[in-house]
Every structure is written in C-alpha cells, then in structure tokens.
Amino acid sequence: MNSTNESATAQAPRRRTIDIVNRGLKRRYRAERRFRFYGLAAIVLSLAFLALLFVSIVAKGYSAFWQTHIRLAVFFDPEAIRQDTLVNADYAALVRESLLKKFPQAEGRQDRRQLAALVSSGAVYQLRDMVLKDPELIGKTVEAWLPADDDVDMLIKGHFRRDLPESERRVSDKQIAWIERLEAEGRLERKFNTVFLSAGDSREPELAGIWGAVSGSFFTLVITLSLSFPIGVAAAVYLEEFAKKNRWTDLIEVNINNLAAVPSIVFGLLGLAVFLNFFGLPRSAPLVGGLVLTLMTLPTIIIASRSALKSVPPSIREAALGVGASKMQMVVHHVLPLALPGMLTGTIIGMARALGESAPLLMIGMVAFIVDIPKGVSDPATVLPVQIYLWSDSPERAFVERTSAAIMVLLAFLVVMNAGAILLRKKFERRW
C-alpha cells in the first residue's frame, strides 16, 4: 500500500490528500503495533494463567505423594496383647511405650502427650494388622516404620517454619528437638504415600486417601455412561434420521440447546426434588448422582452425536436404501457404524465434564463425610471433585497438599480421557 501511495505522489498534482495520509501514517502504524501487542498480550496472559494454575497446584501437591514415617523399635508386649483380644488390644500403648523408651527424658503428662502426638493415630491399625498377620510377633521387639503425624510431616516437608515463636506454630520446641534427634539417627524417612491412593476419607490428613472418592466417581460414571450414551445416541438418531421437521421436533431441539446451557446446579435442584424427595431414592448414592449427571450430559452427547451423523454423507444412505434396505436397516447397518467414532468422542468429552462436575452432586448429598469405600451404586459415596471441595475446607495445613494432590489425580484422569478422545478422532476420523 505504501509503495503505491508513494508512486502516486510522484505523478499526481494533488498533494494534499497524500500529505494528510502521510502525516497520519506514523500514528496509524503505532496504533497497529499497539493493537497487535494487545492481542499477543491477551494470549500470553491467558496462557500465563494456565501455567500459573498448573504450577501452583503441582507445587503445592506433589509432596503429598510422600509421607514421613518414623522407625521405632516396637516391643509387642504379651501383657498388652492377649490372644483373645488381638483385634481390640491397646496398640496405642505399644506406640507410647516404644516412644518413651526412645526418649526417656519425656516426663509429665504434657510431655508424654506431645511425644505420643509425633506418631499418627493410624499407627495403631498398622501394628494391629502386623500382629493379626503374624501372631508370632508377640513378645518380640520389631523395628517398624510407622506413619508420622501430619504436623510432623508438614514440619519435615518444610511447610511449617521452625524459626517462628513457639506459640505461633503447631509443633512445640520439645517436639522439634525429638524430631531432630530422630532425623539425625536416620529414623525419619519419607516413603511413597500408599495410604493416599488406597484409603477412604479421614479426619486425619495422614490417613485420608482418595480411593473412596475415586470408586464413587467410578460408580457414578458407570451409571451416567450406561444411561446417557444409549439414550443420547437414540435421541440423536431419531432427530437426525427419522424426525420430520415440524413444531414438535423444533421444540425438542430448542429444549436440548437450552438444557446444554442451564447451570449445573439447577440439575442438582431437580435431582433433589424429583429423585430424592419424590421417588425416595437413597441420599448420597452414586445411583442418583449418575442419574443427575445423565440429564446434565445428555444435551452434550446428543449435540455431538448429531454432528457425527450429519458428517456421514447422504450417498451412503441412498446406496443402502437403493439396494432395498429399510430405513432402520440403513441407519443401524451403515450410518451408525460410520458415525460411531464421532459419537464416542463426544461421549468421552461429556464423561470428562461429568467427572469434573461437583455442584449438582452437592445438592443430592454426595458431600457427606464417608470413610467406607463404596461397594456398589447404592452405597453412600462421594466423588473426586467433591472430595477436593471437602478437603479444601479443612483447616489442617496437610490437607492443602492433599487437596492439590487429589486435583492432580483428577486432572490426570481428565487428560487421559481427553487424549483418548483426540486419539479416537485422529484414528477414525474420515473426510468424505
């Protein structure tokens, strides 16, 4: 543009317009550069947000996959454990005794309590399981790695500052001295946190795990998938292949588009009023969660399935009808198999959305504190995002890292699902 302007200047007698243009050019180019910069800045800013989100969560959460353990010489006192009470014996006393043996200078009730607080209350179950597995242990002294209390864990991981005045931290000076001695003797070690991946919820951070929530999510998604996929595909097939264009199908279409944009919490209200109060289905059950999420994901699946059906060229349909197939045969034998990859992709994306959804599940009571791992679709359960919500409300510092770790697990599931959807699309996508 510029060069044509200049050549025009050379010939034309009228110089006024071009003067105006030239005078403005600098400013206009500056505006151009500024505008371009804004655009780039917007992209950089949104990517920076994304990076910040991931970095802050990983930085907070990665340490939760390790848990501090304390090695103690535990004497399985035959006095404390009698054969008839193996299950109910006072294992806490064993832990206390072995700690006292280690630190005989701890005297007075306060000191002893602080000493006992170094070890997690979950150590009791670990010792019990050891004895139940091998009753021969009774009467022997065994070196055992016991989980440390969450406060000790936080201190070791550096989340508590040791230089604060004693009144401002959760770990007292004495406890720090003990911990430092244990550290010096190599009796403190960070081990891979299997509890976090295998246990249900707990009030004690070091005993809390995500397995209960993961199973709850699994059962909920099984219900959602087994209802929403067939129903969604059927609805899409009807609307795309069979339905005539009339008022009724228009109404259905408007409804589907609107439902896709209705806030998810409204589906929760529906679930509460209809499934729980009207039909009397159990509270907190994955069954009801699955039903609610089915209604929520149906529009997504229907819309995706319809576009998959639309992308199958009409020539396929005409060929099938031409050799004498009925309309249903044409759809079932020819169109559906060709549209299936697209439908599956849409379904996986819908399932990923359902997996991350928590608001409607709060309404139907899936926020209860549930320790047991659900065994079926009618057991009380919670789901992974709701577990994250519950933990994020907990005051203990150790739950912050566990919340972040649970988020990492959730995001990992979502990445896998979305990658699966992309792979599926890449592998089966056909351009006609």
Partner 1 sequence: MTSFPLLAVLLALSTAAYYIGRRKAFALVNRAGGSVRLHSRPTYHGALTALWCAVPALLIFGFWLAFEGQAITHLVVKDLPESLRSLPSDRLNLVINDIRNLESGSFVSQTAEPAIRAAADHYRRLRSISSQALAAVTIALMAAAVLVVRSRIAPGLRARNHVEGILTGILVACSTIAIFTTIGIILSVLYEAIRFFNVVPISQFLFGLDWSPQMAIRADQVGSSGAFGAVPVFLGTALISAIAMVVAVPIGLMSAIYLSEYAGRRLRAIAKPLIEVLAGIPTVVYGFFAALTVAPVIRDWGNRLGLDVASESALAAGLVMGIMIIPFVSSLSDDFINAVPQSLRDGAYSLGATRSETIRQVIVPAAIPGIIGGVLLAVSRAIGETMIVVMAAGLSANLTVNPLAAVTTVTVQIVTLLVGDQEFDSPKTLAAFALGLILFIVTLCLNIIALYVVRKYREQYE
Task: Pick one of 86, 93, 130, 252: the residue that binds partner 1 (CB under 8 A).
Answer: 252
Are 370 and 380 in contact by the 8 Å Cβ rule? The answer is yes
Are 380 and 283 in contact by the 8 Å Cβ rule? The answer is yes
CB of 353 to partner 1, least distance (A): 8
Nearer to partner 1, 164 or 262 (CB): 262
Binding mask 306-335 for partner 1 (x = CB under 8 A): --------------------xxx-------
Please, what is the angle between helix 384-392 and helix 211-237, to 10°? 130
Choices 102-110, 136-144, 207-215, 295-303; region in contact with partner 1 by CB under 8 A:
295-303
CB of 301 to partner 1, least distance (A): 11
Nearer to partner 1, 176 or 265 (CB): 265
Interactions with partner 1, residue window 211-240 (CB under 8 A): 230-232, 234-235, 237-239
In the DSSP assignment, the letter for residue 70 is: E
Nearer to partner 1, 38 or 432 (CB): 38
Interactions with partner 1, residue window 406-425 (CB under 8 A): 407, 410-411, 414, 418
Interactions with partner 1, residue window 19-78 (CB under 8 A): 21, 28-29, 31-32, 34-36, 38-43, 45-47, 49-50, 52-53, 56-57, 60
CB of 75 to partner 1, least distance (A): 38
Task: Pick one of 89, 154, 295, 398: the residue that binds partner 1 (CB under 8 A).
Answer: 295
Nearer to partner 1, 119 or 407 (CB): 407
Instruction: Verify binding: residue 363, partner 1, rule CB under 8 A.
Output: yes
Strands (DSSP E) contained in 126-263 are: 141-147, 188-192
Interactions with partner 1, residue window 188-207 (CB under 8 A): none
Reading the block at residue 289, the tokens are: 């969660």
Other CB atoms within 10 Å distance of the CB of residue 240: 19
Instruction: Verify binding: residue 255, partner 1, rule CB under 8 A.
Output: yes
Per-residue burial over 253-282, b if 16 or more Cβ lie within 10 Å, else e, is beebeebeeeebeebbebbbeebbeeeebb
CB of 285 to partner 1, least distance (A): 9
Of 262, 163, 211, the residue nearest 373 (C-alpha)? 211
C-alpha–C-alpha distance, residues 121 and 193, integer Å: 16
Choices 121-129, 194-202, 315-323, 400-408; region in contact with partner 1 by CB under 8 A:
400-408
CB of 355 to partner 1, least distance (A): 8
Nearer to partner 1, 99 or 417 (CB): 417
From the number of C-beta atoms within 10 Å of its C-beta (0-12, 13-18, 19+), residue 136 rates as exposed
Reading the block at residue 311, the tokens are: 């992308």
CB of 33 to partner 1, least distance (A): 9
C-alpha–C-alpha distance, residues 126 and 67, integer Å: 15
Task: Pick one of 156, 171, 351, 400: the residue that binds partner 1 (CB under 8 A).
Answer: 400
Nearer to partner 1, 122 or 201 (CB): 201
Strand-pairing partners, residue 69, are 147, 189
Interactions with partner 1, residue window 375-394 (CB under 8 A): 376-378, 385-386, 388-389, 392-393
C-alpha–C-alpha distance, residues 153 and 401, integer Å: 11
C-alpha–C-alpha distance, residues 158 and 410, integer Å: 25
C-alpha–C-alpha distance, residues 368 and 277, integer Å: 18
Of 363, 241, 349, the residue nearest 297 (C-alpha)? 349
